[in-house]
Structure 1
Amino acid sequence: MALELYDLTHRWGHGMPEWPSSPGVNVLVKKFHARNGLYETEFEGIMHRGTHMDAPLHVTENTPTLTGYPTWRFFGTGVAVSIPKRKWEVITAEDLENARPVIQEGDIVMINTGMHHKMADTDDYYAYSPGLYKEGAEWLVEKKVKLVGVDVQANDHPMATKLVDHGPGPTHPHLIDEYKQYTGREVTEDFPYWEAAHKILMVKGGIPGIENVGGDLDKVTGKRCTFMAFPWRWPEGEGCGVRIVAAIDPDQTFRFGGGN
């Protein structure tokens, strides 16, 4: 069998880079071999850390939780596309339309902007990242894709989050002035909606969005693959870490069993 498997996730654990909010993930060793004869850890923190998936409930009240996504959305064919972006650039509908391989209806889509190489506890990754916004999310919903992953800090551009004057923000008010100095425009001119991509993808489209894709993403970019990404079976969950696997069969010799 010539099946090739690639892990598209970042490491998870104590000291990992985290979105600038609180609380952080803290991992405590509760038992260890020299004293207890076994190793056991305990962690505290929120689910929105590292490579993870949001549920509609995270951004809109009275909407589905993690188990509201049908399981068929987490497995299937799709594409990993290269859409290189720099500081504060937007992944546009035109970018998605022109991406290669072509994004087709029913695809799982992994977007490689190049930012996963910069994942760290820095403003460069979390505050100055590019990202999706309203028009790109609307294009993906209209295309009826199955699932979307992106290698940036969130499903939304950072200027559409609470880092600036949205929702409970601004938590990073200096970014408002920085953005105006950098672009000559106000944040609210370019990003009037709070987390529009989250709400359009998940609430309107029922499409899971995975944030902080990374790992072997470059190795499958430009290819059509089979993707697998499963969150926990958590009926009350508003978000959850996921492990994403991309599979390629160069020899076309692998087949799933028929159940007989």
Structure 2
Amino acid sequence: MKIIDLTHFISEDMPVYPGTEQPKLKQANTYEKDGFKETLMTMYSHTGTHMDPPNHLFADRTTLDKFPVSQFVGKALVIDCKDLTEGDTITLDRIARYGKKAEDAEFLLFNLGWDKRWGTEDYYGDYPCINDDVVNFIIETGKKGVGLDVIGIDPIADEDLPIHKKLFREHEIVNIENLKDLDKCGDDLFWFFALPLKWENADGAPIRAVAFWE
């Protein structure tokens, strides 16, 4: 059995989406005073390695807690895009290289190598984004989800969020951002678990994402 953790740590100095406050991890109880340790965690629902449901953008669409847990588990494939540079576009030919594996995958995870910039100003750069043909492929092949090792599926400067909107307007799909170590997953299908915190009316949630091989 082989398991790889694809999740960034949550910390008070971690990267967050521009305009969002960083997490606060306050010591609420101590061994000395209370006989045990407990931490008060205050953070946004889209902190760190996290998942977006359709409700993130559309009030009448599905929240994370309304999905069956099976939505968060499935066969995944990593699409290698590490050779792309700032401002480039992820096109359909990237996916075509993997043939039928890309069609069979329930999750497509795009490896831009951007996780190596985590904790630096470069993480907020002009990372490559998927184009409309790739979005159409994801929708037409009925993926459970899409994931990337960057801070957003849309360009960081695009406040209109067109890729989010096209994915979420009518389709039951999740989007995962801020993954890490996708370069360790190889170029074949593997089991992928991306389990979000279970809270009511969830517009998003931090996840623990792992890759698993039997």
> Superposed, which structure 2 residues align to 1:136-147 within 5 Å?
136-147=134-145
1:201 is matched with 167
Query: Percent same amino acid at aligned positions?
Result: 27
What residue identity is the alignment partner of 1:18? Answer: V
Q: Which whole-Å CA distance do the structure 2 matches of 1:151 and 1:5 have between them?
A: 18
Q: Which whole-Å CA distance do the structure 2 matches of 1:126 and 1:149 have between them?
A: 17
2:14 is matched with 16
Q: CA deviation at 1:88?
A: 2.0
The one-character-per-residue Cα deviations of 1:192-218 (angstroms, maximum 9, x if unpaired) are: xx212212223332111100110x322
1:222 paired to 2:170: no
Partner-residue secondary structure (3-state), 1:73: helix
Change (3 A) 1:79 1:203: same
2:94 is matched with 95
Name stretches of at least 5 consecutive residues in structure 2 with no aligned partner: none
What residue identity is the alignment partner of 1:199? Answer: K
Q: CA deviation at 1:234?
A: 2.1
Change (3 A) 1:71 1:46: same
Q: Which whole-Å CA distance do the structure 1 matches of 2:196 and 2:69 have between them?
A: 10
The one-character-per-residue Cα deviations of 1:73-117 (angstroms, maximum 9, x if unpaired) are: 211222122122211222223322334783024522221111111
Q: Which whole-Å CA distance do the structure 2 matches of 1:133 and 1:60 have between them?
A: 22
Change (3 A) 1:100 1:211: farther
The answer to whether the 8 Å contact 1:134/1:200 transfers is no
1:131 paired to 2:129: yes
The one-character-per-residue Cα deviations of 1:16-46 (angstroms, maximum 9, x if unpaired) are: 1111112221111112213322111112221
Change (3 A) 1:56 1:91: same
The match for 2:209 among 236, 244, 253 is 244
Q: Which whole-Å CA distance do the structure 1 matches of 2:188 and 2:114 have between them?
A: 19
What is the TM-score when the length of structure 1 is the normalising length?
Answer: 0.75
Partner-residue secondary structure (3-state), 1:226: strand
Partner-residue secondary structure (3-state), 2:45: coil
What residue identity is the alignment partner of 1:119? Answer: W
**Across the two proteins, how many residue pairs are aligned to each other?**
213
| Deviating more after overlay: 133-142 vs 150-159 | 133-142
Q: Which whole-Å CA distance do the structure 1 matches of 2:4 and 2:41 have between them?
A: 27
Q: Which whole-Å CA distance do the structure 2 matches of 1:73 and 1:40 have between them?
A: 32
Q: CA deviation at 1:14?
A: 1.6
Q: Which whole-Å CA distance do the structure 1 matches of 2:198 and 2:141 have between them?
A: 27
Aligned Cα root-mean-square deviation (Å): 1.9
Partner-residue secondary structure (3-state), 2:123: helix
> Superposed, which structure 2 residues align to 1:128-167 within 5 Å?
128-159=126-157, 161-162=158-159
Q: CA deviation at 1:151?
A: 0.7
Q: Which whole-Å CA distance do the structure 1 matches of 2:209 and 2:137 have between them?
A: 23
The structure carrying a bigger strand percent of its residues is 2
The answer to whether the 8 Å contact 1:53/1:211 transfers is yes
What residue identity is the alignment partner of 1:139? Answer: F
Q: Which protein shows a greater Rg?
A: 1
